[in-house]
Amino acid sequence: MRDNLFPPPWLVNAKDALISPSARQVHELCNRAVWRSLAVVARIGAVALALTWPAVAAAIALSWARRNGAAIRALTGKSATRQFAEMVSLATRYRILPKYYYAFELYLDSHRARAGDYLLRYETKQIAYRLLRPKVQTPGTPIKNKVGFARFCREHDLAAAPLIAAFHAGTRLPDIGDGRLPEGDLFLKPAMGKGGSGAERWNWRGKGHYHSTQGLELSGDALLERVAGLSRKKDYLVQPAFSNHAAFLDLSVGALCTVRLLTCENENGGHEATNASFRMAMNPKSAVDNFHAGGIAASVDLATGALGPASDLGYGPSFVWHDRHPLTGVPIAGRVLPYWDEVIALAIRAHDAFSEWMVIGWDIAILDDGPRLIEGNKGADVDIIQRTARAPMGDGRFGILLAHHLERVVR
């Protein structure tokens, strides 16, 4: 169930009246599943770690208090000593790592009162999603492999980023593309990558040349040789580099802005959208807008497509919410994304096609002619949603559905 036992599972699940029923159910079922998965020796180790966890958490909290204590004191008047005590209390009581004390603004009393309703990254990615993983994946429905994903979307008439070329072990796959690169901007990425790692954007400069955001310029043939070389370590693909819709082109500093939209199977077997965030790059040299790659993100109102203020991961030592883009100066908060109904409809239709997965996090670009699927993520991150919404997910629709599916699987 776990890649590690950090933080350790609870020895006893405390009944806390402040935790919503759905969040409590998720916590309890995940905790129970971990204990059931452990062999005898591993259980002894987990017990030992659970007993020493308050001391371990205190050591971790101390370094975070030193890093961010002064900044939060300036914001709230709360001393670093009190921040430290609250971090240790949250880690012991709810298994919330000290870094999330700052990311989820739990130094604010109103936020800390709902601490038990936050869903944690290790809890979802390492436990819940693994429990809900399909026992047998339907042949031909690859969601992780980006080459297979693009092919599947084309076959099922889902608007998605097309493939220009794909490479394996230094060799170009013959059944993709016509052997030439188009005269337009290109995007390179690993076929099995995540978090934007290894991605490159190459802008068309004319006369057969492409210029990367890192400053390198290559001819089309040389660029293909570069991709072939990269593919000797892991498969690579080439796709068009899209441009944002004109309505929010000013929110981009080069990289494509994308919506992270979560969809989940509901109680009736259909699929529905539960949460969304909008991601923007902060570095003109970056090829991606990913939150964990230094970008910022804003919450998206599911009903209207309106953006809230934007922020980074929130780990400090600077704690700022941006109503305007820090680099371009244009408004973020209050902007309404175009084609919003179409974005949600596309995600739901895509989840219908990938129906064996209970939860999918979709990366969707909004272009002048409508939305496009960039990729689907079977291990959807909850940090970006809870950070940008400034609220937990455990007591909302996502938490209710997650609890519903875990109850069926675990019990």
Q: What is the mean pLDDT of residues 4-8?
A: 84
Amino acid code (one letter) for 210? Y
pLDDT tens, position by position, 309-329: 999 999 999 999 999 999 999
Measured CA angle at 17 (ends 12, 22), to 5 deg: 80
**Lowest mean pLDDT: which of 31-45, 230-244, 288-302, 390-404?**
288-302
Q: What is the DSSP letter of 6?
A: S
What is the torsion angle, in degrees rounded to the nearest 10, for the CA atoms of residue 270, residue 193, residue 26 and residue 401? -10
Mean pLDDT to the nearest integer, 244-260: 92
Axis-axis angle for helices 40-76, 21-37 (nearest 10) = 140
pLDDT 10s digits, 331-362: 999 999 999 999 999 999 999 999 999 999 99
In the structure, what pLDDT confidence band is assigned to residue 370 with cuts at 50, 70 and 90?
very high
The Cα-based distances of 116 to 13, 111, 247, 262, 319 in angstroms read 12, 10, 39, 21, 23
Please enumerate in sequence order all residues whose Cβ is within 8 A of that of 157, keeping only pairs 6 or more positions apart, or say none.
none
CA distance 50 to 300: 38
Average of pLDDT values for 192-200? Answer: 81
- Decide if pLDDT at 150 tops 70: yes
Residue type, 353: A
Predicted pLDDT at 254: 78
Report which of 305, 257, 262, 255 is spatially closest to residue 283, judged by C-alpha positions: 255
Helix (H) or strand (E) holding 367: strand 359-367
Q: Which residue has the tokens 């259980």?
A: 43
Q: How sure is the predictor about 252, in pLDDT bands with cuts at 50, 70 and 90?
A: confident
Domain 244-377 bears CATH identifier 1.10.3720.10: no
Question: Where in the sequence of the chain do the CATH 3.30.470.20 domains occur?
Answer: 244-377
Model's pTM, two decimal places? 0.93
Give the confidence band of 301 by pLDDT, cuts at 50, 70, 90: very high
| Burial of 315 per CB tally in 10 Å (0-12, 13-18, 19+) | middle
Distance CA 53, CA 189 (A): 40
For residue 263, the cross-strand partners are 273, 360
Q: In angstroms, rounded to a whole number, what is the distance separating the alpha carbons of residues 333 and 310?
A: 7
How far apart (Å, rounded) are the C-alpha atoms in residues 330 and 276?
21
Residues in the chain: 411
Question: Which residue in 388, 315, 319, 383 sits closest to 64, CA to CA?
Answer: 315
The predicted-structure confidence for 378-402, as pLDDT tens digits, reads as follows 999 999 999 999 999 999 999 999 9
pLDDT digits (tens, 9 = 90+) for 96-147: 999 999 999 999 999 999 999 999 999 999 999 999 999 777 777 789 888 8
CB-based contacts of 277, cutoff 8 Å, min separation 6 = 259, 260, 291, 297, 298, 299, 300, 384, 385, 388, 389
Mean predicted confidence (pLDDT) in 5-34: 90
Mean per-residue pLDDT for 148-164?
Answer: 94
Structure tokens at 189: 């990425």
pLDDT at 287 over 70: no
Element (H, E) at 271: strand 271-280
